[in-house]
Structure formats: structure tokens, C-alpha cells
Structure 1
Amino acid sequence: MPHDDSLIITLVGGFVLAFVFGMLANRLKLSPLVGYLVAGIVVGPFTGGFVADTELAPQLAEIGVILLMFGVGLHFSLADLMKVRKVAIPGALVQIGAATVLGWMLGRFLLGLNDIESLLLGFSLSVASTVVLLRALEERKQLKSDAGRIAMGWLIVEDLVIVIALVMLPLLIIAPGETLSGAELAKSVGWTLIKVAGFVGVMLVVGAKVLPWVLVRIAHTKSRELFTLGVLAIALGIAWVAYYLFHSFALGAFLAGLVLNSSPLGHNAAERSLPLRDAFAVLFFVSVGMLFDPSILVREPLAVLGVLGIVIIGKSLAALVITTAFKLDRATSLTVAASLAQIGEFSFILAATSVSLGAMSRETHDLILASALLSISLNPFVFALIDRMGGRVQPPTKKPEPEPKAALADVM
């Protein structure tokens, strides 16, 4: 493929096929994310026909990750988390731990992986997709219900854990052939934590005053284009600074969104960045599909069933045990359990980071992608099953408060 037209061909191929397969998935009552992933598989190197630029697509996907995390920060609600903190915080942490242990056991004793790769496999399977959950709750009119608030708070905690993990992983994973003493590791981790704390402090103290001031000055120009460019420049610029310091785009983009969220123009910033966030998020899922080798479904069917079992059965049972321990009613417990019976975007990011660090094989990476594709596809059926078991929660009778145009559901 000529280098001078690879960008436009990749964009055209990605967007057109994502639209076609996204529409097909929607007609089949599946999440459009399934269609985007399939579009990536079609243009990937493991299938015949047109092959997109496999070096350019991941770079475009990185922009999708930045804008995704920026959107999460823009719509992060500490107040909503605090309302359900007694269940969501311990529940999410215990469930992450349970899924990680199950993944470690599967990888270590059945798949023959080493301890590090087995733990990374379990950790990648432990986090659910906020995008999939939001759409499921909206379709069921449960976003404002107690079950919906608990599930959303649960996933907010998971998102925060992932942001921290993406910063720490490069420090904790040692390349083959390298040795690092306990003192050196502690020094490296400690220094990174100090830098992270300093960066967060600067963003929350200085950035909270400077960035809103900058947006106000841009808004005074009364130029929609300049305002949109200013929002994107802030998101991408701060993400790059975080990557330079910690090798993590996610932390900078999340903090940039979090700071702007508290500004008077936070709603406008979310609205202006939404179209590009949607577009590059689609490219992110397409690029993930390009990395997936579908032949693993035939080569390793038992391994695929094993990881899928952890996602759908293991995580759901863990959530049921936790919510029952907190004496939640049956319907709420079942709804939260079904909400967690899938994985998505953050699992992809964790798996890709692990592969780039040399701590995860492409085979294990494909197992995670397979479980994501299948769990997202099966999630509507999981909700249908819990409805039969008494999990249907009636929407609140009180008229819900109007949501802003760029709600949390608009992150994807």
C-alpha cells in the first residue's frame, strides 16, 4: 500500500465497514461495538481481502483512548459515587480480586502460563465495559434506579483502578533478562508515585484555575471552531505530558476531563468534543478487531470457554455474593451481576499494554478479545435470563431529572 494514501484508505475502510457492521449488529439487537470489532477483523491481516495499515491504525486508536478517557473524566461524578460508596467501592475491589484470582488459576493450571501472565489475564477479565453497561441500563430504563446507580458506581471504581494500573504496569513488569532488586523496585515505584501525586496536585490545584480561565478566554472569541480546537488541544496536550512522564495517556486525559468537568464551561467542552470522541472511539474498536486472530475460536475452544466462563459466570457469582452480603434485594443483586458479565474497552487497553511490555503473548491477548466479543454479544441474553429469575427492576415512578445533552452515556 502506498504510504501517501494509507491514512485516508485506513480511515475510509474503518469508518465505512464499522458503519455497515454496526448497523447489522444493531438490527440483530446486539451492541454496535460488536459490529465495530467485526469490521476490524474483516480488514485485519488474519482474513482475506483488503488489509488496512496495521501500523497506522493503532496510532489512530491511541487518539481514541485519549478522547475516551477525557470523556470519562468529563462525566465523572464523585457525588454519584459517594451515594453508593458503601457497596460500590468494596464490591468493585473484591470482585476485581476474585476475577483476577480465577484468571490466575485458569492461566497457571490449565493454560500453562507463568504467574505474571496469568495475573494479567485475570486482571484484564475483571473490568467491565462502561459503554455496554450504560446502553443496557438505558434500554431497560434503569439508569436512575438503585440498581443502575450501584452498577455505575461499581464501574467508576473499576475505571479508577485501571487508570492507576496503566501507570504502574511498566514499573512492575520487568523485561526478560533484566534483574531488579526489591530496593530498586521500591525506589522506582515510590518515585513514580511521587511524580503522579505531584502531577495530580498540579492539575487539581493549578489546572483547575488555569484551564477554565483559558476556556473562558477562548469562548469570548465566539468562535465554535477555536473552542473545539482549544478543548482538543487541552485533552491531547495534557495526555502527552502524562505519557512523557509516566508512559500513560490515560491518566493525563482523565485528569484533563476531570478538571474541565468542574468548570462552568465543562458541559460545552463535553458537547464540542463528542463527535470526535465518537469517531475515534470507533477506530479504536476497529483497530482492536484488526489485532484479533479469529482462528483461536477453532484452535483453542476450551480456553475460550474458560475465559468466557470467568467473565459471565465467575464475575456474576462474585457480584451476587457481594451484593447479598450487603443485604441488597434480589432484583438489584441480579441486575448488578448481569451488568458485570462482560468486558470491553479497558480490557483491550490492559491487554495491549501487557503485550507491548512483553508480559503477555499474542495467544492470551486473542483469548481476551474473544471473550470480549462473545460476552458483549451475549450480554442481552444474560439480562433476559435474570429477568426470568426476578431481576427486572421497575423504573422510578418519580419523573427523573433532565440530563444534560452530553450525558455519561455519550462517552461512546
Structure 2
Amino acid sequence: MACLLILYTYSIFNYNEVMGNLGLLNIIFIFLLASFLGGLAARILKLQPFVGYIIIGILFGSFLPKDLIEIDKLAEIGAILLLFSLGLELSLSKLQRILKVAVWGGIIQLVFSSVLFFIILLLFGFSQVLSLILAIGFSLSSTAVVVKLLSEKGDLESVHGELMVGWLLVQDLAVLPIMIFLTSLSTRGGNWFLSLALMSAKGFLIIGLVVLLGRLILPYLIHKVASFNSRELLLLLSVIFALGTAFLVNLFGFSFALGAFLAGVVISDSQEKHAVFAETRSLRDLFVALFFVTLGFSLIPSVFIKSSFLILILVLLIFLVKFLVFLLVNFTFGYYGKAAIISSLGLTQVGEFSFIIFSQANLLGLISPENASLGIAVALSSLILSPIVFKYSYTLWKRLKLAAENRPFLLKYMLSPERNKNHNLGELSGHIVVCGFGRVGKWVCKALESLGIDFVIVDYNEKAIREAKEKGIKVIYGDASDPEIIKQAQVASSKCVVIAIPDKLAQEELITHIQTISPNVKIFARAHFDEDAVRLRFLRVDKVVQPEFEAAIGIVSSVLSALGKSNPEIKSKIRNLRRSHTISEEPSF
């Protein structure tokens, strides 16, 4: 296929006169096929698809002519749909659990990181404007990469997972003022502060207009169109809203990209969000692939070779500076130990929004194509290295904790300081220890409470602990995988321990601590996947419950009952299902 693509490309650009008016179709074919190859290579290498798109765009840009105006227009549509969908995927409701930490922590991180990067880039000899734009771009992290890594490890609901997602949402929202700032920065002559004030006033006016469109007019139109039961009309309406908002915002002097992102944000928490997202997703994926291939195509390959050492140094500095800044933010808001180390290390890469910022700055004439290429090269390199860095974050935390054992000053940052803040629960015996007061833990506690069974909750979430305290429940605030915290729950005198935390690595460490303290205590744990259940059984957990499998059992039971099967027959079938699901394989560590 690659050979066919090269031959086809050669025929187009050497026999241009034969193709005539089909030039645009040929170009689209090449770029779509390139997108497919780049995406396929990225999947094989377990990278994000857009990394493959950019790399193959760079490869094609080295031998194809750069003056393909038509594909730039299609790529601009891709950028608009990309930012529209990124705005749609924002969920402000996710910030509620850690609102204070997410908002203030996110703002502190962005400001500190930007200032430090600005100073570093000035020391490297870059101009003030270039240093400022690169610094802002480097301060952002990748929502797509981080969420993928967290979901693969089952850590989205963990403490560090919630922190990371919260800060990423704040960073995504920060793109709006950043875009306004870039537009004001591009204004030549006059008073820059006056220009910024004028752009900000226009921005507030635009936000008001888009809110009016997105919250009042669009829902009405969607309900009307939905009555025709036509997906085509709903798709057209969604695209018109995205492109129309982008056009409206552009009339006020802002970029199309800013308008599209704002349109998505406005309806991100509305009921219409899901319908719009579902209809535009396929079209978005097609044009976004074109956008990233075109982005790579427009880069200057010689920058990668000529500045390879500089790119490497900048990537290493970005990892180091962002790690330290995020660590400082964690410590400031009372997050220490594993949550602080893993969340700080997981957000060290440069995000996909940086590509938009650098390309927009280039279009506005703020930076040259060579400098835009340098910024994108640094961002791309950090994204490729990010999964490797995150993979060893847990190992780094364990080594740092081990290294700090004889250094009291460092040890307090490696372990939970909450171990000294919990009130003495008195002598406990025959109680149940519930680790995690989330969706699963709450139901377990509710059942125990209704039966009058004494129990203690261990959790790291302040809101969950506050909620439990208000109900008069015994609680211990801290990381359950910290041996000192779990000792405070008096595991040795308990009847059993229920592990309802989703963090797989924390589960395993907690089980080891429990078995060291009291080898005979019964342990019950949850696991989402079969391989996780195998690992837990290997660690001698008495009972492993898989929520998805239990849901399947419940559905099967209901279906068989609806088909008129007798209770003994249903029980027999369920018993067979459970027997066939029993896992006895050895785990692959």
C-alpha cells in the first residue's frame, strides 16, 4: 500500500496536466491514505493516532510541494471540528469534587510554569514574544494522552486520577483567554494594554452571544429537527452551529478555532451535548486526521535535524520543570506521597492544544514557520516519551519513599501527613474496615449500617470523608496503602477488610500491608478485568468481585425470568456461569 501511495503521488505531481480538474481529489486521496497509514502505525506502536498523523505528514512534506492551498482549507475545517468536540467533551461537573484544588491549583501551575519557561527560553536566546508563546504552549498538558493512560491502568477514579483530570479541565478552559491574548498580541501599533482590554470586552460580548445561541436557540432547533427523525438533518445542524459560531466569532476579530471551542464549551453540560457529539464524531475524526497530517506536512523537516539537540534539552527541561511545579501545587493543597508523585509525573508532557496555539501564532504572524515547527517538534517528542515516563511513575514513588526513610524532612512528603491528624477511634474489635468510600464503598457501608455492624472507613477524598463524618460514621482520612494509616483502622482486631478502591497498584500494596499486620484477616476486593482478578487471587484475597460480571449475571437472570424459565433452572444456569468464570490461571506480572 505504501508503494502504491508513493507511485500514485509521483504520478499526480509529475503528470499534473493529465489530471486537470481532478487535482483536489487526488490531493485529498493522498492525505486520507496518509492519515490511514499514520494512524495504523500509531496503533501498532501504541501511540495516540494524532502522533502518527503528524509524523507521516512530516515525511510527506519532505518531498511534496508545500503550496497546496486546497488542503489547508480542509485542515482548517478539521481544526474547527476538533476544537468544537474538545469543548463538548469538557465537563465542568467533574470539577465539583475537587473544585478548589482543580481551579486554584490549575491556575497556579499555569502561571508558575509559564513564567519559568519564559525565563528559561530567554536564557536560550529566544525573543520575548517567541519565549512567551512557547512558554504558554509548553505549560499545557495532554488531555487525550493522560486520560488514555489512566483508563488503561484503571486509575481514573483514583486520587491522583481525579487530580490529573481536574487540572486538565482547567487547562482546557484556559485556552479561551489564551486565544484572546494571542489575538490582542498580534495587534500592531497603538497601546497593547488598550488592545487587550478591547479584545477582552469583545470576548465577554461574544461569550454572551454564544451562550444565548447554545443554551436557548440551539436546544429549540435540535428538538424541532429531532421530530423529523433524521440523523442527516441533525448532523447538518450540528456542523452549522460549529462553523457558524466560528464565523461569528471571527467577525469580531478572533480566530475560527476560538469560536469553535467556545461553541463546544457552551453546550458541554447541556442535554443536547450527547446528540451533537454522536452526530459529529465521525465527520470530526475524518477532518481532524486531515488537520494533523496537514500540520505535519507544513512543518519544516530541517528544523528537526538541525535543532535535534535543542529539542532534546527542551523536552528534558519541560519534564523536570512541570514535575516540580505540579509537585509544589500538590504539597500546597495537602496532597503528598503517591498521589503527588504520580499526578505530577503524569502531567509533564506538552498537550495537543499547544499545536493549535503554535499554528495560530504562526497564522497571526507572531512567530515564524521555523519557530512554530520547533515548538511542535518539542511537543510531539514529549508526547511520544510521555507513556514511558508515566509507566515508571509508581516505581519512582516507591524508590523515593525508600530513599527518604532515613531523612525525616523528606519522609513527610513521601507519606501521608494525615496519619497524625486522625482522631483516636478508641479500642475496636470485630469491626469491618472499608477502604474507599466511592460508589462501591458507599453501598457496602449502607448495607453494614442497616444491619447494625460496626465499621470504619479509610479514604483520601476530603468530600467523601466529610460526608461520612456528617452521618456519624467512623472515618480515617489518608492513603489506605500507607501502612501507618491502615494500622490506625486496627486491622489486626477486625473481622475482615473490604477493598473498594479502584487503583490496582494501591490495592496490591494494601493487601501486602494487611497480610503483614494480620495474616488471618479475611480480605474482599473488587476488580474490573479478569487479569486483575487473577492477580488478586494470587495474592490470596478471599473473595474477588467483578462488577461487570455481576451485572451480566443480573441481566441473564432477568432475561431468563422474562422467558418464563423456572427459578431452579435460572439458579442452575447462573451456577454454571459462575463455575465457568472461575479463574485459576497464574498471573502475568
For the aligned pair, the TM-score class normalised by the smaller chain equals 0.7 to 0.9
Pick from 139, 146, 155 the counterpart of residue 152 of structure 2: 139
Cα deviations by residue, 1:284-314 (Å, 9 ceiling, x for unpaired): 2111111222332331233212321233221
Q: Equivalent residues in 2 for 1:199-214 (5 A)?
A: 199-205=206-212, 207-214=214-221
Change (3 A) 1:229 1:151: same
User: Which SS does the other structure have where 1:360 is aligned?
Assistant: coil
| Structure 2: runs of 5+ lacking an equivalent | 1-12, 399-480, 482-501, 508-525, 529-545, 549-589
Structure 2 residue 83 is the aligned partner of structure 1 residue 69: yes
Residue type of the alignment partner of 2:96: M
Q: Equivalent residues in 2 for 1:11-410 (5 A)?
A: 11-44=28-61, 47-48=62-63, 50-51=64-65, 54-110=68-124, 112-175=125-188, 179-181=189-191, 185-205=192-212, 207-390=214-397, 394-395=503-504, 397=526
Q: In structure 2, how many angstroms separate the alpha carbons of the residues matched to 1:401 and 1:201?
A: 44
Aligned residue for 2:514?
none
| Structure 1: runs of 5+ lacking an equivalent | 403-412
User: Which SS does the other structure have where 1:257 is aligned?
Assistant: helix
CA contact (8 A) 1:60 1:280 kept: yes
User: Which SS does the other structure have where 2:503 is aligned?
Assistant: coil
CA contact (8 A) 2:140 2:171 kept: yes
Change (3 A) 1:7 1:342: farther
RMSD: 2.5
Q: In structure 1, how many angstroms separate the alpha carbons of the residues matched to 2:193 and 2:237?
A: 39
The 10-residue stretch of structure 1 (71-80 or 268-277) with the greater mean CA deviation from structure 2: 71-80
Aligned residue for 1:410?
none
Cα deviations by residue, 1:14-42 (Å, 9 ceiling, x for unpaired): 22122222222222222222211111112
CA contact (8 A) 1:10 1:52 kept: no
Aligned residue for 2:422?
none
Q: In structure 2, how many angstroms separate the alpha carbons of the residues matched to 1:11 and 1:339?
A: 37
Aligned residue for 2:512?
none
Query: Relative contact order (C-alpha < 8 Å, sep 6+): which is higher?
Result: 1
Q: How many residues align?
A: 392
Structure 2 residue 15 is the aligned partner of structure 1 residue 8: no
CA contact (8 A) 2:91 2:269 kept: no
| TM-score, structure 1 as length reference | 0.87
Q: In structure 2, how many angstroms separate the alpha carbons of the residues matched to 1:370 and 1:304?
A: 7
Following superposition, the deviation at residue 262 of structure 1 comes to: 4.2
Following superposition, the deviation at residue 356 of structure 1 comes to: 2.3
User: Which SS does the other structure have where 1:221 is aligned?
Assistant: coil
CA contact (8 A) 2:342 2:397 kept: no
Following superposition, the deviation at residue 379 of structure 1 comes to: 1.0
CA contact (8 A) 2:527 2:547 kept: no
Quick one: percent identity of the two aligned structures? 31
Q: In structure 2, how many angstroms separate the alpha carbons of the residues matched to 1:60 and 1:401?
A: 45
Asked which structure has the greater CA Rg, the reply is 2
Following superposition, the deviation at residue 279 of structure 1 comes to: 1.4
Change (3 A) 1:192 1:295: closer
Change (3 A) 1:336 1:401: farther
Q: In structure 2, how many angstroms separate the alpha carbons of the residues matched to 1:258 and 1:97?
A: 22
User: Which SS does the other structure have where 1:264 is aligned?
Assistant: coil
Cα deviations by residue, 1:76-131 (Å, 9 ceiling, x for unpaired): 21121232222222222222223322332333222x22212111111111111222
The 10-residue stretch of structure 1 (204-213 or 379-388) with the greater mean CA deviation from structure 2: 204-213
Q: In structure 2, how many angstroms separate the alpha carbons of the residues matched to 1:109 and 1:40?
A: 32
Aligned residue for 2:427?
none
Aligned residue for 1:406?
none
User: Which SS does the other structure have where 2:392 is aligned?
Assistant: helix
Following superposition, the deviation at residue 43 of structure 1 comes to: 1.7
Residue type of the alignment partner of 1:160: L
Aligned residue for 2:423?
none
Q: In structure 1, how many angstroms separate the alpha carbons of the residues matched to 2:83 and 2:304?
A: 31
User: Which SS does the other structure have where 1:389 is aligned?
Assistant: helix
CA contact (8 A) 1:108 1:114 kept: yes
Cα deviations by residue, 1:126-163 (Å, 9 ceiling, x for unpaired): 11122222211221122222222221121111112122
Structure having the larger proportion of residues in strand: 2
Following superposition, the deviation at residue 216 of structure 1 comes to: 0.5
Q: In structure 1, how many angstroms separate the alpha carbons of the residues matched to 2:345 and 2:69?
A: 36
CA contact (8 A) 1:311 1:371 kept: no
Q: In structure 2, how many angstroms separate the alpha carbons of the residues matched to 1:101 and 1:251?
A: 24
Q: In structure 1, how many angstroms separate the alpha carbons of the residues matched to 2:29 and 2:67?
A: 12
Change (3 A) 1:4 1:132: farther
CA contact (8 A) 1:316 1:340 kept: yes
Q: In structure 2, how many angstroms separate the alpha carbons of the residues matched to 1:306 and 1:267?
A: 42
Runs of 4+ that moved beyond 4 A? 50-53, 395-402
Change (3 A) 1:137 1:52: farther
CA contact (8 A) 1:18 1:39 kept: yes
Following superposition, the deviation at residue 357 of structure 1 comes to: 2.5
Change (3 A) 1:338 1:18: farther
The 10-residue stretch of structure 1 (77-86 or 380-389) with the greater mean CA deviation from structure 2: 77-86
Following superposition, the deviation at residue 378 of structure 1 comes to: 0.7
Cα deviations by residue, 1:209-228 (Å, 9 ceiling, x for unpaired): 11100010011111111111
User: Which SS does the other structure have where 1:142 is aligned?
Assistant: coil
CA contact (8 A) 1:99 1:310 kept: no
Following superposition, the deviation at residue 206 of structure 1 comes to: 5.3
The 10-residue stretch of structure 1 (191-200 or 232-241) with the greater mean CA deviation from structure 2: 191-200
Q: In structure 2, how many angstroms separate the alpha carbons of the residues matched to 1:120 and 1:344?
A: 14
Residue type of the alignment partner of 1:145: S
Following superposition, the deviation at residue 282 of structure 1 comes to: 1.3
